[in-house]
Amino acid sequence: MLGMLQIAIYLLCIYLVFKALEIYQIAYVSTSEHRRSALQGAALLIGLSILIAIGFWFWADSQAEAVGRNLQSAPSAMPTR
Instruction: Answer whether residue 44 is part of any domain.
Output: yes
Q: Which pLDDT belongs to residue 71?
A: 76
Instruction: Answer whether residue 34 is part of any domain.
Output: yes
Instruction: Answer whether residue 69 is part of any domain.
Output: no
* Alpha carbon 65 to its chain's center: 17
Q: Which pLDDT belongs to residue 81?
A: 63
Say what the pTM is.
Answer: 0.76
Is residue 43 predicted with pLDDT exceeding 70?
A: yes
Is residue 75 predicted with pLDDT exceeding 70?
A: no
Residues 64 and 6: beta-carbon distance below 8 Å = yes
CA angle 67, 77, 64 (to 5 degrees): 10
How many other β-carbons are positioned within 10 Å of the β-carbon of residue 75? 6
Q: Which domain holds residue 44?
A: 8-63
Question: How many domains does the chain divide into?
Answer: 1
**H or E, element range at 4:** helix 2-28
